[in-house]
């Protein structure tokens, strides 16, 4: 069974879509932070801002990891595909060498009679 590179690309695209969604949510969170700061002047806002900034940092980290995973999926799929193709070529060469050796042995046996 060989790897389905097309499926791997599709899965990588889904991961990239998740990263894009995460980025959009992170951006929306910035807007919420701005709205809160404009409409709510309380001491607690420094804690809320800190929590939002911390969450945005975590989201950025997750987004970066998702992007890296997406890239790794594609790269790995192509590496596996190349290895499978090389293994197939090696098996074909070995089979051809065996067949040639068998033909040579049969020819030697025929000549020895």
Count CA atoms closer than 13 A to 40's CA, side-chain side.
14
55-78 confidence digits (pLDDT tens) = 999 999 999 999 999 999 999 999
Band (pLDDT 50/70/90 cuts) for residue 113 is confident
Structure tokens at 5: 């590179």
Structure tokens at 80: 């596996």
Quick one: pLDDT at residue 73? 98
- What pTM was estimated for this model as a whole? 0.77
Quick one: pLDDT at residue 86? 98
Which is the CATH superfamily of the domain at 5-80? ESAT-6-like (1.10.287.1060)
Band (pLDDT 50/70/90 cuts) for residue 29 is very high
Structure tokens at 81: 């595909």
Q: What is the DSSP letter of 44?
A: T
């Amino acid at each position: 069974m060989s790897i389905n590179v097309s499926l791997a690309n599709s899965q990588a695209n889904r991961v990239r879509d998740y990263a894009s969604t995460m980025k959009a949510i992170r951006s929306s969170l910035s807007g919420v932070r701005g709205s809160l700061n404009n409409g709510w002047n309380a001491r607690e806002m420094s804690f809320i801002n800190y929590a939002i900034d911390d969450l945005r940092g975590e989201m950025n980290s997750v987004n970066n990891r998702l992007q890296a995973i997406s890239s790794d999926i594609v790269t790995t799929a192509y590496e596996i595909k190349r290895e499978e193709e090389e293994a197939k070529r090696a098996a074909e060469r070995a089979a051809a060498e065996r067949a040639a050796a068998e033909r040579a042995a049969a020819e030697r046996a025929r000549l020895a009679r």
